[in-house]
Structure 1
Amino acid sequence: MNLGEKIRYFRRVKNLSQQELAIGICSVPYLSKIENGVTEPSGEIQQHLAARLDIELNHLNENEIIHHYVDLFSFIYKRDYKSAKEKFHSLTDSPARSVDEDILQKIFKSIYIMMTTEEMPGVHTLLDEVSYIENVIKGQKGFYYFLAKGQLSYLTKEFEDANNYLLKAEKLLEENRHQEWEKGYLFYMIGLTANMLYRNINALEYTSRALDIFERTYYFKRCADCRIILAIVHLRTKNFEESTKHLLLAETIANTFDDEVLRGIIYHNLGGIATHKGEKEKAISLYSQSLKAKEEEPLFAKIMTIFALIKEYQKSNYREKGLELIETWLGQLHENPLYREYELHFLYHKHLFTNGDHTEASIRFMVKELIPYFEQRNEWIHLAEYYPVLGKYFEKNQKYKQASMYYSMAYDALRKMHEVGVTYV
């Protein structure tokens, strides 16, 4: 990055016009020439521009700066949040005074926020500011930039985008030197994202590669994370024995470290095995244990378990328990776009618990709200489940044209799942 690019970068980041930066230092046309690399300013003008922007034009090299931020990433990765917080403040309490430092500060601030809170306050803005400069997505900075973009897309449930960003980060692994644990974490994220896309083969491949690295480097809690993904994939293909094996190995780690949250995740997935086997009471018991273990966790950590328990109550016709659970949590989902999917699922089941079967009101809700939401997001898995419900309802009410339409749409949803690589047995 040349001098003019650095000046333009900080001028845009600090939201200054060329006139505001140039006033009293040089003319606007002259500043424009500097920023475009047409002319090299005198040392005196460089000093004045740097002072107004509160930056240094001579600074530590990029490798030295990256080293400090990778230390921060290492603490977060190891879930040593106390050390991570101290390191984070030591690196970010003072404003960045070089372009490299500013870019890395924004990237790693984004990673810190997402990995310690799984939330996104300000992350979009931080990464958008970084993307102003085209060559930010090169070299080591590029690896961390794409990793951060992948994490952000994952948290906002844009899983296809997440997968694309993470694969771009993987390509940069070969060009730059990265530690084994960094490779392991990237492979884990790719495996996790492939799992959310129901791409079982990719999920197994990348998660197994991550597990191999974590086992060789003795990061046991990360091993447990990988075994849970592997268990989910094997559960999806109804390989119950292999799924249970991975969960029991993960449970050994949870018990070793007395990790109640990890146990909650394991109970949830053991409940998933019971669900697939049709063992309703066992599934209810395991999902309930999972919620108890995750009692102090934020909503995002338990929403899937709540939904799984609601569905089991529906199958068992436990209407009062189902309604009570929905009413307990529904208010927390309202007007939060991140939970809109679950809000719609909950409202659908609330109709069923209340009326015992589908009514005109519940069908109208499905047609007007539930189905359009999932169609807009191309959520073929949910559509493949809900379309046949509508088809059956209209067939029962002798509205055969509408019934045929929804049965056909269900078939198309299954076909599109196959086209995008979704495999679900």
Structure 2
Amino acid sequence: MKDIRGLFIKLNREKLGYSLEALSNGICSPSYLSKIENDELKASEDIYILLLNKLDIDYNFNDNLKNEKEWLNKYFEFYISSDVQCKKYALKLREKEDILDVSDLFIYFQIFKLYTNDYIEWKNIVELEHYVVYMNSKEKFLYYLYKGLLNDEDISDVYLNENVSPLIFKSKGNALLKQELYIEAYDMYSKGFQIAAQIGHTTTMCDLSIDLGFICSFFDFKAMEKYYQRAIKISQNNKTVISLVFYNIGSIYLTDRSKWSDAYKYLSKGIQLCEDKKLLEKYKNNLFIYYCLINDSSKKQKQFNLINKDNEYYIMFSEMNKNNNYDHDILFSDELFRIYKENSDNRLLEYLYHRNCIANRKYKEVICDDIKNKY
């Protein structure tokens, strides 16, 4: 049946200290309530409402939470693809915690909290183990993926059959990358790729090749390009993959003065292939930044005119467009600082922020923010 309301009633009854007899009194028999709680039968809507009212809970149904459900879907979509956009959805969802904790998205939201908690709390993981029978296939996948992320032992063959194993290694790699443990992250991505190849999971092979390319961008540009080209080959020259790969290479090369011409080559080629609206906006952003970096006033003005006025960088870009000495512009510095703090994983923003600090002799800020001396 998998009606989560029974589980939810049981959890809150125990939390408030009600016995089966006390909660069921005047509504149904204790044995009937026990069957509701253990999902052995589905009661009428009236009984659910009476039980929830007695627990003083304003329960929210999925139909009223379409946005929140979409945010949860988007968070995990971006998390698994290593896209920092997942952070934006995490912030939105945290603001809705009071509502989601009393809804039929309860389990989905608890799994989300596992992924976003700063500290691992085993009691939460053990508690969710009791909810597995209520989980749909997607929730089970995400739950076991998280458990695999924490498990240092060999991953069992059951994960191979469910295509979970390579994603466990991918998630471990993501976690190590956040800790700047690049060699360890590289090792996790490589293992994940080998298993994905073993089971013929080409989409994951492609994703992991892109991850390996990103790791190599910290050390060896040739190796980076090799992995990115492998992703293109695995995808059979898929336009979506090519445009993403070219965007990644172009963006990384913008952080190295000696590679600016290569950055332009990849960005100008990739934008011609790009069919994704969000990625297209990012291409426009980075081409504008390129023209600012090389001080081409004419081209940066033309590129600025192509940028959407609703773009989150628009104020900062306006200041960059006004003069070539934008690093000393107070509004530019303030906007850059604000945006960088919200997107600290963005290599290009880190580069611009570092340049700005050096230009304004804010050496203390550079040290405090742990910006690496690599530019």
Q: Same fold (TM over 0.5)?
A: yes
RMSD across aligned positions (CA): 4.9
**1:41-52 paired onto structure 2 within 5 Å:** 44-46=28-30
Q: Which has the higher helix share?
A: 1
| C-alpha contact (below 8 Å) 2:145/2:167 kept by paired residues | no
**1:320-335 paired onto structure 2 within 5 Å:** 320-333=298-311
Alignment-derived partner of residue 264 in structure 2: 284
How many residues align? The count is 310
Per-residue displacement from partner, 1:284-338 (whole Å, max 9, x unpaired)? 131122222222x131x345433332232223323333233334334232xxxxx
| C-alpha contact (below 8 Å) 2:288/2:303 kept by paired residues | yes
Per-residue displacement from partner, 1:201-240 (whole Å, max 9, x unpaired)? 3431221121111111111222111111111111222x12
**1:155-304 paired onto structure 2 within 5 Å:** 170-171=149-150, 178-180=158-160, 181-192=163-174, 194-195=176-177, 198-237=180-219, 239-254=220-235, 256=236, 258-272=237-251, 275=254, 276=256, 278-295=258-275, 297-299=276-278, 301-304=279-282
SS in structure 2 at match of 1:170: helix
| C-alpha contact (below 8 Å) 1:310/1:322 kept by paired residues | yes
Unaligned runs of 5+ in 2: 43-47, 49-60, 79-84, 111-123
| C-alpha contact (below 8 Å) 1:139/1:176 kept by paired residues | no
Per-residue displacement from partner, 1:108-138 (whole Å, max 9, x unpaired)? 9876555668885996658644269866423
Q: Tell me, in whole angstroms, the C-alpha distance in 2 between the residues paired with 1:331 and 1:364.
A: 21
Change (3 A) 1:247 1:309: same
Alignment-derived partner of residue 306 in structure 1: 284
**1:15-414 paired onto structure 2 within 5 Å:** 36=17, 38-40=19-21, 44-46=28-30, 57-58=39-40, 112-114=73-75, 120=89, 128-129=101-102, 130=106, 136-138=127-129, 141=132, 170-171=149-150, 178-180=158-160, 181-192=163-174, 194-195=176-177, 198-237=180-219, 239-254=220-235, 256=236, 258-272=237-251, 275=254, 276=256, 278-295=258-275, 297-299=276-278, 301-333=279-311, 340=312, 343=313, 347-358=315-326, 363-372=329-338, 374=340, 382=349, 385-386=352-353, 389-393=356-360, 403=361, 406-413=362-369
Q: Tell me, in whole angstroms, the C-alpha distance in 2 between the residues paired with 1:115 and 1:352.
A: 35
Amino acid at match of 2:201: Y
Change (3 A) 1:261 1:195: farther
Change (3 A) 1:252 1:46: same
Change (3 A) 1:294 1:309: same
Q: Tell me, in whole angstroms, the C-alpha distance in 2 between the residues paired with 1:34 and 1:251.
A: 53
| C-alpha contact (below 8 Å) 2:253/2:259 kept by paired residues | yes
| C-alpha contact (below 8 Å) 1:268/1:305 kept by paired residues | yes
Q: Tell me, in whole angstroms, the C-alpha distance in 2 between the residues paired with 1:349 and 1:33.
A: 55
Change (3 A) 1:387 1:241: closer
Amino acid at match of 2:17: N
TM-score, with normalisation over the residues of structure 1?
Answer: 0.56
| C-alpha contact (below 8 Å) 1:387/1:410 kept by paired residues | yes
Change (3 A) 1:229 1:307: farther
Q: Tell me, in whole angstroms, the C-alpha distance in 2 between the residues paired with 1:358 and 1:389.
A: 9
Q: Tell me, in whole angstroms, the C-alpha distance in 2 between the residues paired with 1:226 and 1:309.
A: 26
Unaligned runs of 5+ in 1: 14-31, 61-94, 96-101, 150-164, 334-339, 394-402
Change (3 A) 1:139 1:148: same
| C-alpha contact (below 8 Å) 2:186/2:212 kept by paired residues | yes
Aligned-pair CA distance for 1:365: 0.9
| C-alpha contact (below 8 Å) 2:213/2:227 kept by paired residues | yes
